[in-house]
């Protein structure tokens, strides 16, 4: 999906603001020189007149006079540089400066988006994804196998390989992932790893805990004042590049939740938009808790990864308490 129109407009407004700031700074510099170094502008005025004379001489074929004008121009420019140096002012003080010299703060180079535009887009997607702080820790750089052994290690290694393949082929293959298993075994962590990688590639990722997701949907559905918000939320949930639903099963499940959950899964499947779900529920609990069509949609359209082992969060707390 990339950027929405409003997101694109927001980035372009930031460029317009930066251009205004650049011009304002340059105007302030010019005013400072005018007030504190008037001799510099006297030279500049003479330079303008000489440039005009030189152009006239060249058009009239008066080469000798044109050369003389060029020599005088060189002397004036040398004097201008000397005046700036003596005043302790850098030679580029009266030159417009840019945050990005490549695109000159326009966002585009020969009709193509500049690298700085991409960085702005990534930053915006991070801010609007709801997972920026989470991903400061939950990323592949912090991945460790030290808390697993035996069959638990094998499960985790397979899940990590699946995550790497998911990220690598994200823009070419439609896939969904379902992480389930015991508490604290890395399900949410792996979801975060995937999110960080894809956001940095410019994809729009939306993260929700199941509790917050269905609370937001319920608030919109049962309060007519929030209908517009609900429509906007549905649009985001159905169309974002990746939707992450964390801790499925922690929400209060009822017919409304089951219906909304299926609608999300079904719409995203129709649109070939990937979804990652993590839960502490077993597959049997999943079937008992939600409708048969939800269970069928997950087991038929999601790659299922089981994670087992000790609760890593509790293990780390015990280790800290012993120090």
In DSSP notation, 111-154 reads TEE-HHHHHHHHHHHHHHHT-TTGGGTSSGGG---TT--HHHHH
CA dihedral 42, 47, 53, 57 (to 10 degrees): 150
Instruction: Give mean pLDDT, residues 27-42.
Output: 92
pLDDT (0 to 100) of residue 166 = 97
Strands 242-248 and 274-279: parallel
pLDDT higher at 15 or 2: 15
Report how far residue 174's alpha carbon sits from residue 36's, in angstroms, rounded to the nearest whole number.
65
Report the C-alpha gap between 26 and 316 in whole angstroms.
55
The neighbouring-strand residues paired with 279 are 180, 248
Q: What pLDDT is stored for residue 1 in this prediction?
A: 42
Q: What is the pLDDT of residue 2?
A: 52
pTM above 0.85, yes or no: no
Token readout for 242 is: 């990746």
Higher pLDDT among residues 5 and 164, named by residue: 164
Closest to 246 measured CA to CA, from 180, 163, 174, 152: 180
Please report which confidence band the pLDDT of residue 109 belongs to, taking 50, 70 and 90 as the band edges. Answer: very high
Is the alpha carbon torsion for 231, 289, 247, 165 positive or negative?
negative
* Portion of the chain with pLDDT greater than 70, in percent: 92
Q: What is the pLDDT of residue 304?
A: 95
Query: What average pLDDT score do residues 95-110 get?
Result: 95
Which two structure tokens, joined as six digits, stand for 118? Answer: 């991409």
Residue 226: pLDDT band (50, 70, 90) is low
Domain ranges for the chain? 5-108, 130-321
283 or 229, greater pLDDT: 283
At residue 44, the pLDDT reads 87
pLDDT of residue 319: 64
Instruction: Say if domain 130-321 classifies as CATH 3.40.50.300.
Output: yes
Q: What is the pLDDT of residues 112-163, one digit of tens each?
A: 889 888 778 867 766 665 566 677 778 898 888 988 999 999 999 999 999 9
Which are the contacts of 152, defined by CB distance < 8 A and separation ≥ 6? 185, 307, 308, 309, 310
Residue 312: predicted pLDDT: 80
pLDDT digits (tens, 9 = 90+) for 232-261: 788 888 988 999 999 999 998 899 999 999
- Taking the C-alpha atoms of residue 182 and residue 145, their distance in angstroms, rounded to an integer, is 17
Q: Does residue 298 contact residue 178 with C-beta atoms inside 8 Å? A: yes
> What single DSSP character describes residue 272?
T
């Amino acid at each position: 999906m990339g950027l929405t129109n409003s997101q694109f407009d927001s980035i372009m407004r930031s460029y317009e603001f930066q251009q205004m700031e650049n011009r304002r700074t340059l105007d302030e510099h010019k005013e400072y020189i005018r007030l504190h170094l008037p001799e510099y502008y006297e030279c500049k005025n003479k330079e303008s007149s000489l440039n005009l004379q030189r152009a006239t001489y060249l058009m009239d074929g008066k080469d000798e006079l044109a050369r003389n004008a060029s020599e005088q121009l060189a002397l004036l420019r040398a004097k201008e540089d000397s005046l700036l140096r003596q005043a302790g002012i850098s030679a580029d003080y009266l030159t417009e400066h840019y945050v990005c010299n490549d695109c000159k703060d326009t966002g585009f180079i020969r009709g193509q988006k500049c690298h700085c535009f991409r960085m702005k887009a990534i930053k915006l997607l991070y801010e609007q994804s709801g997972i920026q702080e989470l991903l400061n820790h939950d990323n592949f750089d912090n991945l460790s196998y030290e808390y697993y052994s035996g069959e638990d290690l094998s499960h985790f290694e397979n899940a990590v390989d699946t995550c790497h393949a998911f990220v690598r082929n994200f823009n070419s293959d439609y896939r969904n992932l379902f992480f389930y298993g015991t508490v604290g075994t890395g399900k949410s962590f792996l979801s975060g790893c995937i999110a960080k990688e894809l956001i940095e590639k410019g994809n729009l990722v939306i993260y929700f805990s199941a509790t917050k997701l269905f609370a937001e949907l319920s608030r919109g559905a049962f309060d007519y004042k929030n209908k517009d918000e609900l429509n906007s939320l549905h649009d985001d949930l159905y169309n974002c590049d990746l939707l992450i639903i964390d801790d499925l099963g922690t929400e209060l499940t009822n017919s409304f939740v089951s219906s909304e959950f299926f609608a999300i899964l079904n719409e995203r499947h129709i649109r070939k938009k990937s979804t990652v779900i993590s839960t502490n529920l077993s597959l049997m609990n999943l079937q008992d808790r939600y409708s048969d069509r939800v269970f069928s949609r997950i087991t038929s359209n999601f790659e299922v990864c089981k994670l087992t082992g000790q609760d890593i969060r509790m293990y780390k707390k015990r280790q800290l308490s012993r120090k």
